[in-house]
Chain A
Amino acid sequence: MPVLSKEIVAASSRPLLLSLLNEGESYGYELIKRLRELSDGEMEWTEGTLYPVLHRLEREALVQASWHEAESGRQRKYYKLTAAGRRALLEEKSQWMFLNQLLETLWKRTST
């Protein structure tokens, strides 16, 4: 698997975050770990990528943050998808599906 460019990582961060949070409530560190696991270590977010996007989603009211006590006893900030977030995820999904199909069509043509 080739190393993903910064632009692709940045552009995909929004739909990926919405999708990960669609699985359930989570926090920053766990989201980074989860993406690493799902991509078998091929794709990794830095904190500098994750948190600004996460905060922007919060500002847009697509995710909602709340503080809960972690198992270590510390307070931890959890994020969960809102109804608006779920609608945004559906939109993102359709856009990415469309792009995927378009690219597949184009590449199939060039390969034949």
Chain B
Amino acid sequence: METDFNLMDSLQQWRTRLGALSEDDRMEIEGHLQDSMRELCATGLTEHEAFLVARERLGEVQNWAASGPASGHARRWLWTALGLLGLTSAVVCLVISLFIPKMHEGRCVVELLAEKSDVPTQRAILESTETLVEVMQTQGSAQHALSAARELQKRVHFDPIPDTAMVVIRVEDESASKAAELANAIPTAYESRRLAMDDNARELKRLALEGAVDEAEAKLAKLNPVSSQTRALSPSLGIPMDELAKAERIRQLKANVTAAEEDWQKAAAQRTLDQALATPTTEAPKLEEIALARQVLAEARSKFVKFKAEPPALDRILRRHEQASSNLDVLTSAEVEHLRWWALAFALLGLAGLAMGHRSNHAIS
């Protein structure tokens, strides 16, 4: 049995039972064990027996071998200071959070009346900065509408309801009535923008149709150059328009012959008049062209008249499902919420610190 004993192994095993002792304490106790063993060996005990007796005398070392004074005290004070710091920070966070004003939420629900494929575009218009700028302009921030809109953007939330064209608009504000007012103003501003956009589109369309009519009229006038006076007379006299046009031209050419002062000028004017008199009333191909031009003009005019008769689709922009009212939710703002979480964390840290400090104090005693 004796030959199996290994002092180093036994010491190593014993050391592991010492628990969380400081190196200082461990060395002191091990020195004591070895002093004790040496004396026991001197009385005739074997090394193994001496080790067992000395170890038994020491007993449960971790119960009485307190850690070093400096480290123990330092640790105690460190924990206590940490605890107090944590609790102080918790109180500071809590107090600050009490001074941050409460927030209210204005909430309304709208439905965008648009084709399914157009809903994302309309939602982008609803949520755009330009819409919020218009909101702020109606709220009396005309001078700094853009910066006010950017500020508002941080307090506005658009929550689309899945699989529908409906959007929940939420606005946060310190004032309940203001939050409601802003929430309701957003769809109004959106409608206003949509109207303006529609007006622009209608104006462009009107100009295009007007242009088409003008172009058709010009083309016809070029093919059939009859004065407006002659054109007006044509139906009442029962004479075809081209006959009147020819007569008018011949009258003009005759006037040219009369007005010519020189002989050579008179002769040239007379030649032109003779040519005109010799020309048939209207050439056949030209008549076809005129008919086609008249048709184009009629169509252009018809389109323009139809467009003018169409009412603008202003009532098909938006449907309000829920208006924001003064009965609003009171929110805990994000800052307050963060501060309260921090306060809780600090409080827990503080309590843990104080508990550890108390425990260290108890261990030292």
Enumerate chain A interface residues (CB-CB to B < 8 A): 27-29, 46-48, 51-52, 55-56, 58-59, 67, 70, 72, 74-77
**Residue B24, interface by CB 8 Å:** yes
A30 to chain B minimum Cβ distance, whole angstroms, is 8
User: What 3 A-B pairs have minimum CB-CB distances, sorted nearest first?
Assistant: A59-B69, A29-B35, A77-B28
**Residue B333, interface by CB 8 Å:** no
Q: How far is the CA of A74 from the CA of B36 in the complex (A)?
A: 14
B58 closest partner in A (C-beta): A47
- Binding-face segment, B60-68, B215-223, B284-292: B60-68
Enumerate chain B interface residues (CB-CB to A < 8 A): 24, 27-29, 31-32, 34-36, 38, 57-61, 63-66, 68-69, 72-73, 364
B33 to chain A minimum Cβ distance, whole angstroms, is 9
Contact in complex: A47, B69 (CB < 8 Å)? no
Contact in complex: B31, A48 (CB < 8 Å)? no
Contact in complex: B32, A28 (CB < 8 Å)? yes
Instruction: Give the chain A neighbours of B28 by CB distance below 8 A.
Output: 28, 51, 77
Instruction: Give the chain A neighbours of B61 by CB distance below 8 A.
Output: 47
Instruction: Give the chain B neighbours of A28 by CB distance below 8 A.
Output: 28, 31-32
B53 to chain A minimum Cβ distance, whole angstroms, is 13
Instruction: Give the chain B neighbours of A56 by CB distance below 8 A.
Output: 66
Q: How far is the CA of A59 from the CA of B73 in the complex (A)?
A: 8
Q: How far is the CA of A56 from the CA of B27 in the complex (A)?
A: 18
Instruction: Give the chain A neighbours of B27 by CB distance below 8 A.
Output: 67, 75, 77
Please judge, given known A-B contacts A58-B69, A75-B27, whether A48 and B64 are in contact too, CB under 8 Å. Answer: yes
Instruction: Give the chain B neighbours of A27 by CB distance below 8 A.
Output: 31
Q: How far is the CA of A36 from the CA of B28 in the complex (A)?
A: 20
Please judge, given known A-B contacts A46-B59, A47-B59, A48-B59, whether A55 and B31 are in contact too, CB under 8 Å. Answer: no
Contact in complex: A51, B65 (CB < 8 Å)? yes
Q: How far is the CA of A48 from the CA of B35 in the complex (A)?
A: 16
Contact in complex: A47, B57 (CB < 8 Å)? yes
- Contact for B364 among A46, A59, A74, A75, CB less than 8 A: A59
Please judge, given known A-B contacts A47-B57, A77-B24, whether A29 and B64 are in contact too, CB under 8 Å. Answer: no
- Contact for B69 among A55, A67, A70, A76, CB less than 8 A: A55
Q: How far is the CA of A56 from the CA of B296 in the complex (A)?
A: 115
Give 26 A-B contacts (CB < 8 Å), ordered by A residue. A27-B31, A28-B31, A29-B35, A29-B36, A46-B59, A47-B29, A47-B64, A48-B60, A48-B63, A48-B64, A51-B29, A51-B64, A52-B66, A55-B65, A55-B66, A56-B66, A59-B69, A59-B72, A59-B73, A59-B364, A67-B27, A70-B31, A75-B27, A75-B31, A77-B24, A77-B27
